[in-house]
Structures are given as C-alpha cells and as structure tokens.
Amino acid sequence: MTQSLLLNIAALMPRSRANGPGTRMVIWVQGCPFRCVGCQNSEYLEFKLTQVVTVEDIWQKFQQFPDLAGISISGGEPFAQAVALADLARRVQSAGKTVVCWSGYQLQQLQLNHLPGSQEFLNHIDLLIDGLFIQQQISDEILRGSNNQKLHFLSGRIVEDNLLNIPRQEWVVGGETLTYTGFPVAYKQVDKDMV
C-alpha cells in the first residue's frame, strides 16, 4: 500500500452553494506565490503549515456526503499543491462528481507544465477559473472576483447553463461559528439625486 499524499489546507467547508454548481465541498489551500491587492483570503497567502492532512483524509470526509455535486478548490494557490490535488481530483471524478478550481495562473501558463503535477491536475478539473484578482477590475460575474478572470470548461461535464442561480455570497451558521464564503460585490456609487 502506498502512502497517501499530504495537503496543507487553510480551511474546509463541507457544504457550500456559492462555490460552483450544486452543493459542494470547498477546500482552501494554504500558501500562494501571488500577492493580489485586496485578496479576501489574505490569511491563506503565507506558505506556512496550517492543517496538514492526507488526501485520503479529505477523500473519506468527501464520501460522507454522497449528495454533493463535487469539490471546489481555492486558496491560497491550488497549483502550489498540484500533485496531491491531482490525486484528490481524480478520486472525485471517478465517483462521478465534478471539480472546480480557482488559480492565479492563466490556463496557458499551466499547460506549459512547469509546475509539478500541473498537467495531471488540469486533466481532472471540470471548470477552471483563472487569472489574478485585480481590485480595480472588481466584477459581479459569476464565480469571479475581477473582470480579467476567465471560465474554462475543460471537460464538458460542467457547462455555462450549470452556473445559473449560484449565490454570490453565502453565510454558513454552524455550532458556535459563522463562516462567510463567496465573492466581493462591486461597489456602485449611488447618485444622491436618486435617493
């Protein structure tokens, strides 16, 4: 038996509707080479050990929720942990579920395969949202924080019609916690004469 690969995660949400089509498990990985001004996950940028878990641990947790549509992976920068995430994404797809992933890298950069595991990870992603967050281009587009970010439907298992009715933001109440997830809302100045 081979040893399970390790992941360094910042947070995990078992159920979310704001991070892709259907109800999904969301993993935020720890560590990002980018420093986008206005990043709403700024506490996930530093490369430091936070919660080190095995892919097998995450996979077992995912299987406890058979009604999930799939898994969504954000960060931090997922492609900084592409080898382990490729294994997790492969397992999720083998169960007939889908994988959504955000990356600050552009698809063309990832296809050059300069990052360990990047091609294998791409092979098991159904929807990739790529591009750095640019605060000056804040967007209200579905699943994107800024207008430069693009949706790439890589497998055909998720299509644009699947993205209808995804909430922009979500608050999840659990036990003694209140967790926010989603995307910033573009601030629109209101004309005083209209109020």
User: What's the pLDDT tens digit per position in 87-116?
Assistant: 999 999 999 999 999 999 999 999 998 899
pLDDT at 193: 54
Q: CA-CA distances (angstroms) from residue 176 to 80, 81, 172, 179, 180?
A: 32, 31, 11, 10, 14
State residue 187's pLDDT score: 56
Q: How confident is the model at residue 85 (pLDDT cuts 50, 70, 90)?
A: very high
Answer yes or no: is pLDDT of 185 > 80: no
**In the predicted structure, residue 167 carries a pLDDT above the cut 60:** yes
The pLDDT assigned to 71 comes to 98
pLDDT at 188: 53
Q: Indicate the residue type of 138.
A: I
- Spatial distance between the Cα atoms of 174 and 3, rounded to a whole number of angstroms: 33
Between CA 16 and CA 125 the distance in angstroms is 18
The string of DSSP codes covering 123-190 is TT-SEEEES---GGGB--STT-SBTT-EEEE-SSSS-GGGGTT--SEEEEEETTEEEEEE-PPPP-PP
- Identify the weakest region by mean pLDDT among 37-46, 83-92, 113-122, 167-176: 167-176
pLDDT of residue 1: 42
Cα 184 to Cα 103: distance, rounded to the nearest angstrom:
17
Share of residues in the chain with pLDDT > 70 (%): 92
pLDDT at res. 186: 61
Beta carbons of 120 and 85 less than 8 angstroms apart: no
Helix axes of 82-94 and 55-63: crossing angle, nearest 10 degrees? 30
Average pLDDT over residues 28-43: 91
**Does the reported pTM lie above 0.75?**
yes
Say if residue 5's pLDDT is above 60.
yes
Mean residue pLDDT across the chain: 90
